[in-house]
Amino acid sequence: MPRLLSFIALLIASHPALGVDRVTFATNWKAQAEHGGFYQAVAEGIYAERGLDVRILQGGPLVNNRAQLVVGRVDFLMASNLIQTFDGVRQGLPTVTIAGFFQRDAHCLIAHPGQGNDRWEDLAKAPILVGNAGRQTYFRWLTSAHGFSESQARTYTFNSAPFLVNKRAVQQGYATAEPLAIAKALGHEPRVYLLADYGWSTYSTMLETRRDLVESSPDLVQRFVDASILGWVRYLYGDPEAADRLIKRDNPSMSDEQLAYSRRQMLERGIVDSGETLTAGIGALSEERIADFLQKMVAAGLYEPGQIDASQGYDCRFVNQGVGVAEKRVLLEASAAVR
């Protein structure tokens, strides 16, 4: 009998996938520090500890992972912001937002210092290089809430050369990414205006899934959300090296310098962990905040009054439980003790 038990134990150990739920998580872009918490959960076995075998499927310029979610080819999707949630409701898609991993959207406006754009109010008079997606979303909010005008908009082709040449120009960007390359090109730091500091209150890097998965497998959904939260806690407040290795494996063009810069910006600007997350845990969602942002988008002309029932687009039951708050405290205390 002891030999039989030993054989069974050996068999189980050699087949760790037995009884494991296989999950595909699709991101909205190529691997980067902004995805670090999810990679940390893979690298440190946090998903595996909760019975999940998670495959991360990268996004990119020619990849439509949202369609893959809708048809059931992926289980979870990294969504950009609440506008996608509202659009999903408008289109009748079977999707639901279940977490907001970026409490503060990292979209920003970048300006040359000392060239007449050193105050937020100055930007309403400057030429703004903005892409089509931004022009149809946050730029419309800038016109309705901050006095910007359509005449300011210039086409942005995701090439910073026009901005670097024109010292009066302002360029759209992502606070955790473009400012690093721009600072190198300029030889000094640019002015970075985070839209979240001026009322752009959407969540970002949100987690979406399908309603049928929420209804049929709420335990699986909860395990994935909890493990992802802990992954972010450890990526931000622990050692990110294991996650960064996986990120560079998936995206070889990603440099250590960019990874370190992006992580530092997420920490310093409270992109992931600030406000409600300090007590409710990373990924927190607020019904009041979602409703407020919808009203801002109605005022900006993205939707008609009463057109969207925002409550149909999200489910808060998997967050706001304080997951990871205690572990963050332990990691911070350990870090302080080392210093």
Closest CA to 24 of 47, 43, 46, 40: 47
Q: Are strands 191-194 and 107-111 parallel, antiparallel or unpaired?
A: antiparallel
Q: What's the CATH code of the domain at 183?
A: 3.40.190
Shared domain check, 210 and 193: no
Closest CA to 151 of 120, 128, 117, 183: 128
Residue 14 has pLDDT above 80, yes or no: no
Shared domain check, 145 and 34: no
Shared domain check, 181 and 238: no
Structure tokens at 268: 């310093």
Scan for tokens 């990871």, then name that residue: 324
Q: What is the pTM of this model?
A: 0.93
Question: What confidence category does residue 304 fall into, taking pLDDT thresholds of 50, 70 and 90?
Answer: very high
Question: What confidence category does residue 9 fall into, taking pLDDT thresholds of 50, 70 and 90?
Answer: very low
Residue 6 has pLDDT above 90, yes or no: no
Shared domain check, 189 and 215: no
Domain count, the chain: 2
pLDDT in tens, 281-292: 999 999 999 999
Shared domain check, 234 and 310: yes
Judge whether 8 lies within some domain. Answer: no
Using a 10 angstrom Cβ sphere, with 0-12 exposed, 13-18 middle and 19 or more buried, the burial of residue 143 is: middle
| Average pLDDT rounded to a whole number, residues 49-56 | 98
The mean pLDDT of the chain is: 94
pLDDT at 335: 87
Q: What's the CATH code of the domain at 251?
A: 3.40.190.10
Residue 96 has pLDDT above 70, yes or no: yes
Structure tokens at 67: 């369609």
Judge whether 5 lies within some domain. Answer: no
Residue after which a domain boundary falls, among 182, 198, 214? 198
pLDDT in tens, 189-228: 999 999 999 999 999 999 999 999 999 999 999 999 999 9
Question: What confidence category does residue 62 fall into, taking pLDDT thresholds of 50, 70 and 90?
Answer: confident
Shared domain check, 289 and 223: yes
| Average pLDDT rounded to a whole number, residues 55-83 | 93
Shared domain check, 206 and 62: yes
Judge whether 13 lies within some domain. Answer: no
Judge whether 287 lies within some domain. Answer: yes
Shared domain check, 113 and 226: no
Contact between 263 and 180 under an 8 Å Cβ cutoff? The reply is no
For CA atoms 237, 240, 246, 248, give the dihedral sign: positive
Judge whether 12 lies within some domain. Answer: no
What are the residues whose beta carbons fall under 8 Å from the beta carbon of 10, sequence distance 6 or more? none
Shared domain check, 214 and 100: yes
Residue 5 has pLDDT above 70, yes or no: no
Which residue type, as a one-letter code, is found at position 202?
A: T
Judge whether 1 lies within some domain. Answer: no
Using a 10 angstrom Cβ sphere, with 0-12 exposed, 13-18 middle and 19 or more buried, the burial of residue 129 is: buried
Shared domain check, 256 and 178: no
Shared domain check, 278 and 140: no
Q: Are strands 107-111 and 170-174 parallel, antiparallel or unpaired?
A: antiparallel
Give the Cα separation of 55 and 82 in Å (integer).
Answer: 25
pLDDT in tens, 100-141: 999 999 999 999 999 999 999 999 999 999 999 999 999 999
pLDDT at 110: 98
Structure tokens at 305: 């009054």
Judge whether 2 lies within some domain. Answer: no
pLDDT at 339: 73
Residue after which a domain boundary falls, among 148, 173, 198? 198
pLDDT in tens, 226-259: 999 999 999 999 999 999 999 999 999 999 999 9
Which residue type, as a one-letter code, is found at position 10?
A: L
Q: Could you list the residue range(s) of the whole structural domain that residue 150 is in?
A: 107-198
Judge whether 23 lies within some domain. Answer: yes
Shared domain check, 206 and 193: no
Residue 8 has pLDDT above 70, yes or no: no
DSSP state of 283: B
